[in-house]
Structure 1
Amino acid sequence: MPLIRDPSYARVESSDIDYFRGLLGDTGVITDSTALQALNQDWMGKYEGKSTVALRPKSTEQVSKILAHCNARRLAVVPQGGNTGLVGGSVPLFDEIVLTTTNLNRIISFDEVSGTLVCESGCILEELDRHVGGHGFTMPLDLGAKGSCQIGGNVSTNAGGLRLLRYGSLHGTVLGLEAVLADGTIVDTLQTLRKDNTGYDLKQLFIGAEGTLGVVTAVSILCPPRPSAVHVSYLAVPDFATIQKVFVRARQKLGEILSAFEFLDQQSLELTLEHLEGVRNPLPDTQTPFYLVVETSGSNEAHDYEKMEGFLEEVMEEGWVLDGTIAQDSTQTAAIWGLREGISVALKHAGAVYKYDLSMPVPEMYSLVEETRQRLAGLPVEVVGYGHLGDGNLHLNISTKHYDENILKHIEPFVYEWTAARRGSVSAEHGLGQMKADCIGYTKSQEAVKLMGQIKRVFDPNGILNPYKVLPQDGASRGDHHANAMAA
């Protein structure tokens, strides 16, 4: 059932626009319909809102005054960073005000001893990595969208990315943050301490909350030393069972320098080669159902390369890897990663795409792809599977020319039910947004969802922050019966 605009929210009036212009100046208030179009629509072109005003604050204090005004008037607000999300979490559904953090883009400090970066939430991830790279460090997060995504959005969605296997999630690397609550209260937990066990760890509530509890305005994040030796191999593997053997061997032989272990299927490769210019197959003479991207990051070039060579020799002698190559320079390394990171962009170029971001026990990951193909046989779709095997994160994508309700009804709720039956997560790293707000019960119990609702009401009693997202609006989730069945 389609959502209906909550009539308890006020509509923007001319007096509101006057207030915002007085606070932000004319350049900080966007009302032009052409300029608003990009802010109203998500990256995939799947979700589109009808906001008539967007605000561009330059300071935490301005964010505070904006939210205090909106809360008093009960004007709904959608916080927006780089707008690279894939579940419709950063765009309005109706006429909510868009609050973009683009102008909150200052790097506040960097400690070269501890590796702690403090910056505002609108800083671009790639630019932050370049900045800390100049000091011999690296950002603990790497995404295909790094050139446009913002660190505040990364934190608000608890983005995972390509190297979670090595550096862990943002729940561990974010040391502190600053956020503004719905009533304008500024919550400053922007510590840079590795150890702080004083009271409740409030920052964790904002990490992954998708802007529903507060607007993140600044973060402190722990950056590891930049690896001086990076080696990437691209391997051809005959089946998914063998992939798991290769993964076990990689952890045994590569140990602490293993930083990424990605897989893609033949369909992903073919689609990317077809729709992206400049991408090439690193193993053009080998065709197999699966390919792997294995990366090591360390500090000893000769030692690390020897370990990668030894690993590759072993898995090929076992017959697990049919063919493989190790990148010999940065250009080849970039080409291999360009292929893996380009899958999502290629899917967009191919047409409409139904994207599912799931985590589950590794042995079961590809079975969902196979069963989805069987279920959609005869329909005009291409089913592809790829993802972060090192942390059990599958990206299931159904590519078609146009969004079609007949296709969708064959996919949902099947995908969510299949995942719930294996006690998996319906959102591994993309968040819930508006796409999966009513699907939270497939992964979380009724009691957990109820507690989340109570927390939301404490932080945002008028419900103005990113409404219609993350939590089901009617208090009941489509997955509730699955949670009950698992608890029984």
Structure 2
Amino acid sequence: MARRAAAGLLRRLVPLAASDTQPRRGMYPAQYGATNRYFSIFYWIQGQQHPLYGCRTNVETDDSQQSAQMNFKVQKRSFSSSAAHIQRNPTYSVLNSDDVSYFKSILGESGVVQDEDRVAVANVDWMGKYKGASQLLLLPKSSNEVSKILSYCNSRRLAVVPQGGNTGLVGGSVPVYDEVNGILTCEAGCVLENLSSFVENKGFIMPLDLGAKGSCHIGGNISTNAGGLRFIRYGSLHGNVLGLEVVLADGTVLDMLTTLRKDNTGYDLKHLFIGSEGSLGVVTKIAILTPAKLPSTNVAFLSCNDYISCQKLLLAARRSLGEILSAFEFMDRHCINLAMKYLEGVHNPLPVSPYNFYVLIETTGSDESYDKAKLEAFLLRSMEDGLVTDGVIAQDISQASNFWRIREGISEASVKVGAVYKYDLSIPVEKLYDIVEETRSRVGDMGDVLGYGHLGDGNLHLNIVSTKYSDEMLAQIEPFVYEWTSKQRGSISAEHGLGLMKAEKIHYSKSSEAVQLMASIKKLFDPNSILNPYKVRRYV
């Protein structure tokens, strides 16, 4: 392709009609609140009694078995995995009025929620995937209150499920920021988007960015070791979290809230809690590194003919863009078709003809003219080499927001089809799309198979969508997806954790020796297994 023709492709997109004041990913209007006002940590206290609001579709409880066997059937109809029968641990105590009175004595009336509707909301995950049977919602405001709750629950052997979310029910302190070293210290209930706004007003950014940033809490991000869109540039939370405060199952407050960059005095215990999904302790405070906010950001939306071109483009981007490369996301044409159909207000940046694959590249740097020239030169070479067939660079905030809305909205769009089976896999990049094609062959006409994700991290989001759920569909997907991933020495959970869905599938990614060591660590930190029971691995 002639260089002039390639340059014409990159520059032919005119500004969209949408207002330029619409914030792009990672950028917020100046009037956006600088501090977070909601610092809430939730606890589900599980007992043997019926939930106050009765049973609904995602949990089916047989009345006769409830008192005799406490056999809970958690239906995973909505996304993946067949219904799991979880035998309730009979050593857990029954929640009683004395327990409620104690919680009220330390939290006050407003900190203990028994209202059926409010508890019902807390019992269902945000996508309706699971439904719990908790009867009580507690709203502590401090580490000391969390400590008292866990100490009491441990002594009574009441199971506890920590939960975060943007609820705005309790107040808290303002985050503390060290502008010299770029270190943020905050409570676990801070909403990620609010923290991003807070540090951006000081000239920094959070190293973590997620599509759910408007509702997720930083404590939950730490507990699940969330990855997200900036992983390729800033790495994992294991490398960015400097210190933690954690409340253990017996109420002990473990102070590891250091802000030191270097500390080799003994074991670095904080790493045990990053990604432990609340099964070892409850994270209450965090100290995290925040990179400097760079003034130049460019976003390109590109198309490729095949997956091998996407791979080669990633390698070329690492070599040519180097230090300014901040995101490299890929989507197949099935994702784009779905996004255009179900997402409101999005525009296809490359509407002339359909392509097999699409790539979103973002760069951030300190010199706008240099960075843009570097990106354009890279894209022109990629077009001349046949790696890119078409492409555009965002000319304003509206266009950049539109590009990111397409990528971040795929998960939202997939839910609107009716039925979706979701898998979050870590696979060597050269093999990453093979499982999409093989799954598509197995599923056939029963559904549409989508492949997208963080190509720079080797993280595939495999979604199978259909108008309805069926055992026939599930049989074609599982255990095939887990077995295939295991054969590639991949991970069945790249960034979403194990939770309840994959608690019994950990052996596909970890050796029996590793799993046994995890069990020993769990027993050491939580001998009564009160913290987030039945998750990660079903400890009984």
Provide TM-score, normalisation by structure 2.
0.83
1:273 shift after superposition: 1.2
Q: Distance in 2 between matches of 1:104 and 1:403?
A: 41
SS of equivalent residue, structure 1 residue 66: helix
Q: Distance in 1 between matches of 2:86 and 2:224?
A: 22
Which of 415, 430, 455 is the equivalent residue of 2:481?
415
Structure with the bigger RCO (C-alpha within 8 Å, sep 6+) is: 2
Which of 248, 257, 265 is the equivalent residue of 1:181?
248
Q: Does 1:73 align with 2:156?
A: yes
Q: Is the 8 A contact 1:106 1:123 kept in 2?
A: no
Which of 237, 251, 263 is the equivalent residue of 1:170?
237
Which of 428, 432, 449 is the equivalent residue of 2:498?
432
Q: Distance in 1 between matches of 2:348 and 2:288?
A: 36
Q: Which residue does 1:274 correspond to in 2?
A: 341
Q: Is the 8 A contact 2:529 2:539 kept in 1?
A: no
The 5 Å alignment of 1:189-228 reads: 189-228=256-295
Q: Distance in 1 between matches of 2:173 and 2:351?
A: 45
Q: Does 1:454 align with 2:537?
A: no
Q: Deviations over 1:238-262 (max 9, x none)?
A: 0001111111111111011101100
Amino acid at match of 1:70: C
Q: Distance in 2 between matches of 1:240 and 1:102?
A: 47
1:46 shift after superposition: 1.2
Q: Distance in 1 between matches of 2:323 and 2:506?
A: 35
SS of equivalent residue, structure 2 residue 445: coil
Q: Distance in 1 between matches of 2:421 and 2:232?
A: 26
Q: Which residue does 1:314 correspond to in 2?
A: 381
Q: Which residue does 1:90 correspond to in 2?
A: none
Structure 2 unaligned runs (5+)? 1-83
Q: Distance in 2 between matches of 1:107 and 1:157?
A: 24
1:38 shift after superposition: 1.5
Q: Which residue does 1:383 correspond to in 2?
A: 449
Q: Distance in 1 between matches of 2:401 and 2:186?
A: 28
Q: Is the 8 A contact 1:156 1:207 kept in 2?
A: yes
Which of 507, 510, 517 is the equivalent residue of 1:441?
507
Q: Which residue does 1:86 correspond to in 2?
A: none
The 5 Å alignment of 1:287-302 reads: 287-302=354-369
1:106 shift after superposition: 3.1
Q: Distance in 1 between matches of 2:532 and 2:402?
A: 38
Q: Which residue does 2:101 correspond to in 1?
A: 18
Which of 102, 110, 118 is the equivalent residue of 1:27?
110
Q: Which residue does 2:65 correspond to in 1?
A: none
Q: Which residue does 1:9 correspond to in 2?
A: 92
Q: Is the 8 A contact 2:107 2:139 kept in 1?
A: yes
1:82 shift after superposition: 2.0
Amino acid at match of 1:23: I
Amino acid at match of 1:292: V
Q: Which residue does 1:159 correspond to in 2?
A: 226
1:436 shift after superposition: 0.5
SS of equivalent residue, structure 1 residue 107: coil
Q: Distance in 2 between matches of 1:384 and 1:279?
A: 19
Q: Is the 8 A contact 2:179 2:202 kept in 1?
A: yes
Q: Is the 8 A contact 2:436 2:462 kept in 1?
A: yes
Q: Which residue does 2:308 correspond to in 1?
A: 241
Q: Which residue does 1:465 correspond to in 2?
A: 531
Amino acid at match of 2:322: G
Runs (4 or more) in structure 1 with deviation over 4 Å come to: none
1:279 shift after superposition: 1.3
Q: Distance in 2 between matches of 1:453 and 1:31?
A: 33
Structure 1 unaligned runs (5+)? 84-99, 475-488
The 5 Å alignment of 1:111-150 reads: 111-150=178-217
Q: Distance in 2 between matches of 1:352 and 1:55?
A: 33
1:44 shift after superposition: 1.2
Q: Distance in 2 between matches of 1:105 and 1:370?
A: 49
Q: Is the 8 A contact 1:234 1:336 kept in 2?
A: yes
Q: Distance in 1 between matches of 2:476 and 2:114?
A: 40
1:473 shift after superposition: 4.1
SS of equivalent residue, structure 1 residue 52: coil
SS of equivalent residue, structure 2 residue 202: coil
Q: Distance in 2 between matches of 1:196 and 1:58?
A: 30
1:105 shift after superposition: 4.6
Q: Distance in 1 between matches of 2:274 and 2:470?
A: 34
SS of equivalent residue, structure 1 residue 271: helix
Q: Distance in 2 between matches of 1:68 and 1:158?
A: 26
1:161 shift after superposition: 0.1
Which of 232, 235, 238 is the equivalent residue of 2:299?
232
Q: Comparing 288-297 with 351-360, which one deviates more in the overlay?
A: 351-360
Q: Is the 8 A contact 2:330 2:360 kept in 1?
A: yes
- Change over 3 Å in CA distance of 1:101–1:57 after alignment to 2: farther
Q: Which residue does 1:363 correspond to in 2?
A: 430
Question: Greater Rg, structure 1 or structure 2?
Answer: 2
Q: Distance in 2 between matches of 1:468 and 1:131?
A: 36
1:207 shift after superposition: 0.1
Q: Is the 8 A contact 2:330 2:453 kept in 1?
A: yes
Q: Distance in 2 between matches of 1:335 and 1:391?
A: 23
1:104 shift after superposition: 6.9
Q: Deviations over 1:64-91 (max 9, x none)?
A: 00001100110000000128xxxxxxxx
Q: Distance in 2 between matches of 1:82 and 1:281?
A: 32
Q: Distance in 2 between matches of 1:282 and 1:16?
A: 57
Which of 318, 324, 336 is the equivalent residue of 1:257?
324
Q: Is the 8 A contact 2:203 2:292 kept in 1?
A: yes
Superposition CA RMSD, Å:
1.3
SS of equivalent residue, structure 1 residue 246: helix
1:107 shift after superposition: 3.4
Q: Distance in 1 between matches of 2:473 and 2:102?
A: 46
SS of equivalent residue, structure 1 residue 248: helix
Q: Distance in 2 between matches of 1:362 and 1:201?
A: 31
Q: Distance in 2 between matches of 1:9 and 1:403?
A: 34
SS of equivalent residue, structure 1 residue 378: helix
Provide TM-score, normalisation by structure 1.
0.92
- Change over 3 Å in CA distance of 1:214–1:103 after alignment to 2: farther
Amino acid at match of 2:453: G
Q: Distance in 1 between matches of 2:353 and 2:440?
A: 24
The 5 Å alignment of 1:329-348 reads: 329-348=396-415
1:447 shift after superposition: 0.4
SS of equivalent residue, structure 1 residue 282: coil
